[in-house]
């Protein structure tokens, strides 16, 4: 018999693979909790483009309006990333955010480090 534990919304989430699809192992959904859940939520926030979710067009970052434009205001972009990461539950402090736009491949790479209720977290996200 399987151990069926009920999780609240803040305790666990469905695990996602790198491409953003739901992770399935041995025909079962995979859950993430604590630090990995917080990192996953931070990655989701950073990869959300404003206007892409039809139920809330204001959700997400203004990539096409302010970030992936010719001559972006770097202080403004950095502030957008900090503000977005700060809103994730269980994030106590953002300690570092760096980003690099590779024009030839049109990829934005964002690295972040934070302190959370579950300890230090860090990750690199490509958009």
Domains, the chain, ranges and CATH?
34-126 (3.10.450.40)
pTM value is 0.82
Give 86-125 pLDDT, tens digit per residue: 999 999 999 999 999 887 777 899 999 999 999 999 999 9
- The pair of three-digit structure tokens given for residue 105, joined into one six-digit string: 């491949």
Write the burial class of residue 42 (CB in 10 Å: 0-12 exposed, 13-18 middle, 19+ buried): buried
- The pair of three-digit structure tokens given for residue 6, joined into one six-digit string: 């009920």
Give 56-68 pLDDT, tens digit per residue: 999 999 999 999 8
């Amino acid at each position: 018999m399987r151990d069926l534990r009920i999780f609240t919304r803040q305790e666990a989430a469905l695990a996602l693979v790198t491409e953003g699809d739901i992770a399935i192992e041995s025909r079962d959904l995979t859950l993430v909790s604590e630090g990995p859940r917080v990192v996953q939520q931070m990655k989701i926030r950073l990869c959300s483009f404003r206007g892409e979710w039809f139920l809330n067009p204001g959700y997400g970052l203004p990539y096409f309006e302010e970030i992936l434009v010719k001559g972006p205001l770097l202080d403004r972009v950095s502030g957008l990333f900090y503000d977005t990461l700060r809103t994730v539950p269980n994030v106590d402090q953002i300690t570092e955010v760096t980003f690099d736009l590779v024009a030839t491949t049109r990829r934005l790479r964002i690295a972040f480090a934070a302190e959370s209720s579950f300890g230090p977290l860090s990750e690199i996200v490509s958009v």
